[in-house]
């Protein structure tokens, strides 16, 4: 073989090696992290938990191929959960354990706290947020792009109209849709779930052009929280056609809203797959609290067979629907029965990113990455659900025992609320042996 031919063969081999190195991530490359939060989703509102009313095929596929969390706990309402999620600290240590931050409230997530976005930026991540913040905005310093996120599009308060993006609360009516700290009006009239999905797809496509830094994407959906009281449950009409069997109007509209949410998760997953990012991505899906069932908050979620509703300390108020999905998991397609609290995500994300959570002071969470990755035991034996000095209620779980001290609503909203009536069983998910109904 002459010298020119030898050089040609070597060049070809080098080209093949270079092509292979760009087609798949290195085993030690820091994974992308995509965190998807559903707002007010009930335990019994996904078919991977056995719902026969609401098929959620995209969520199901991720859950069944990943690790479903059957003993996963959140706070009973929005702001406390989001505070714990962002900081790894229990809401009682953030001053956020009672109700939520209202639009005119002059406080927020304490500025002295390090957010997960700030921590991941220190580890080299690009950080983007889409959707609901609900951790204070009375000063710019409290808003997402000043708390570690490179970008944010969405709203600051707890709820709003899905189309005009106005919030009617505490006697105030105002437009609440922002992009990178400024009011943003081109989205007026567009359905929020679809806006957020398109934004997530765009971020993923853009990131795939330069993967020198890993991606942290926090997609905090408005769905399926009720909107303003004048029109609380909103969905594009075409989705209602799928649920003609549900005769209760509120439950039917809610089911359609869940369907849009499920479609969104499918579209985001497809964007990750199409851009080649999925193989090195960890997807986390979680609800923020129990579902508002039986008309609570003018909504019709279902936590059955769990007791209670959103903003109660019964299991229906604090046990969240959650899973983690990734091709990186050594042991997947299973249900984890280990105890897991929402404040565990912060140190878990640090572990996923290759950092050391011990470098962060006063964390209340434990890294669960080893447990999720390899199926080892959870480091938890107990979970403090809450200590609310204003409602004068508290609850604690220790192993298989749970102590509830008093009731948020004095006995109201403490029952078991099956989903509103449905005729027939058009979606027989109970036949799927992978359904988790623990």
pLDDT bucket at 158, cuts 50 / 70 / 90: very high
Burial label, 97 (beta-carbon count in 10 A; 0-12, 13-18, 19+)? buried
Give yes or no for residue 18 having a pLDDT over 70.
Answer: no
Is 436 or 100 the better-scoring residue by pLDDT? Answer: 100
* Distance in angstroms between the alpha carbons of the first and the last residue of the chain: 67
Q: Which of 64, 65, 62, 55 is nearest to 36 (CA)?
A: 62
Cα-based angle 355, 360, 366 (whole degrees, multiple of 5): 75
Q: Name which of 294, 291, 295 is nearest 311 in CA terms.
A: 291
Among the listed ranges 206-220, 253-267, 296-310, 422-436, which one has the minimum average pLDDT value? 422-436
Active site residues: 78, 134
Q: Supply 76's token pair.
A: 């009973």
Quick one: pLDDT band at residue 22, thresholds 50, 70, 90? very low
- Alpha carbon separation from 138 to 108, 135, 172, 223 (Å, rounded): 8, 10, 15, 24
Query: Contacts for 205-212 with beta carbons within 8 Å, 24 or more apart?
Result: 205/271, 205/275, 207/32, 207/126, 207/275, 207/277, 208/275, 208/276, 208/277, 211/277
Residue 430 pLDDT more than 70? no
Q: How confident is the model at residue 15 (pLDDT cuts 50, 70, 90)?
A: very low
Per residue in 302-333, pLDDT tens?
999 999 999 999 999 999 999 999 999 999 99
pLDDT at 424 (0 to 100)? 47
Q: Is the pLDDT of residue 27 over 90?
A: no
> For residues 359 and 428, which has the higher predicted lDDT (pLDDT)?
359
Which single residue is written with the structure tokens 């199901």? 60
Distance between CA 117 and CA 145 in Å, rounded?
A: 10
- Model confidence over 50-75: pLDDT tens digits? 999 999 999 999 999 999 999 999 99
Question: Quick one: which of 264, 291, 270 has its CA closest to 197?
Answer: 264
Q: Count the neighbouring beta carbons within 10 Å of the beta carbon of residue 425.
A: 12
φ, ψ for residue 77 (rounded to 5)? -155, 170
Sheet holding 182-183, edge to edge: 182-183, 178-179, 151-155, 126-132, 215-220, 32-38, 281-287, 322-325, 67-73, 334-341
Work out the pLDDT band at 224, boundaries 50, 70, 90: very high
pLDDT band at 29 (very low <50, low <70, confident <90, very high): confident
Helices 345-352 & 78-87 angle (0-180, nearest 10): 30
Share of the chain above pLDDT 70, in %: 90
Residue 148 makes CB contacts below 8 A (sequence gap 6+) with 115, 116, 117, 118, 119, 120, 121, 127
Q: What is the mean pLDDT of residues 239-263?
A: 97
| pLDDT for the residue numbered 423 | 52
Task: Tell me the C-alpha distance between 202 and 275, whole Å.
Answer: 11
- The neighbouring-strand residues paired with 336 are 69
The number of C-alpha atoms within 13 Å of 426 and in the hemisphere containing its C-beta is 10
H/E stretch holding 19 reads helix 3-23
pLDDT tens across 257-300, in order? 999 999 999 999 999 999 999 999 999 999 999 999 999 999 99
């Amino acid at each position: 073989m002459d010298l020119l031919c030898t050089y040609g063969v070597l060049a070809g081999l080098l080209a093949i090696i270079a092509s292979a190195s760009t087609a798949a991530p290195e085993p030690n490359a820091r994974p992308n992290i995509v965190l998807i939060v559903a707002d007010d989703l009930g335990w019994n509102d996904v078919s991977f938990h056995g719902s026969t009313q609401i098929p959620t095929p995209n969520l199901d596929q991720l859950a069944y191929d990943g690790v479903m969390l059957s003993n996963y706990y959140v706070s009973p309402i929005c702001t406390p959960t989001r505070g714990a999620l962002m900081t790894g600290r229990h809401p009682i240590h953030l001053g956020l354990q009672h109700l939520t931050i209202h639009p005119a409230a002059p406080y927020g997530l304490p500025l002295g706290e390090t957010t997960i976005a700030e921590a991941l930026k220190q580890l080299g991540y690009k950080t983007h947020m889409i959707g609901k913040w609900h951790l204070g905005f009375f000063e710019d310093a409290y808003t997402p792009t000043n708390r570690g996120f490179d970008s944010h599009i969405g709203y600051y308060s707890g709820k709003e109209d899905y189309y005009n993006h106005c919030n009617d609360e505490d006697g105030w009516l105002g437009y609440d849709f922002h992009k990178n700290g400024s009011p943003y009006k081109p989205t007026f009239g567009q359905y929020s779930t679809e806006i957020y999905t398109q934004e997530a797809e765009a971020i993923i496509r853009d990131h795939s052009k330069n993967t020198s830094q890993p991606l942290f994407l926090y997609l905090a959906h408005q769905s399926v929280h009720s909107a303003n009281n004048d029109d609380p449950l909103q969905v594009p009409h075409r989705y209602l056609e799928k649920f003609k069997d549900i005769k209760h109007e509120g439950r039917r509209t809610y089911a359609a809203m869940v369907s849009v949410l499920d479609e969104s998760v499918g579209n985001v997953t497809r964007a990750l797959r199409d851009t080649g990012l999925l193989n090195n991505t960890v997807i986390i899906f979680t609800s923020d609290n129990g579902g508002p069932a039986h008309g609570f908050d003018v909504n019709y979620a279902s936590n059955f067979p769990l007791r209670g509703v959103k903003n109660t300390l019964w299991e229906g108020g604090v046990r969240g629907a959650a899973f983690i999905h990734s091709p990186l998991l050594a042991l997947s397609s299973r249900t984890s029965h280990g105890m897991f609290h929402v404040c565990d995500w912060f140190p878990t994300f640090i572990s996923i990113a290759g950092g050391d959570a011990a470098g962060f002071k006063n964390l209340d969470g434990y890294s669960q990455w080893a447990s999720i990755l390899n199926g080892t035991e959870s480091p938890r034996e107990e979970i403090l659900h809450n200590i609310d000095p204003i409602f004068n209620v508290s609850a604690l779980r220790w192993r298989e025992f749970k102590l509830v001290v008093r009731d948020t609503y004095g006995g109201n909203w403490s029952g078991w609320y099956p989903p509103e009536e449905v005729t027939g069983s058009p979606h027989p998910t109970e036949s799927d042996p992978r359904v988790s109904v623990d």
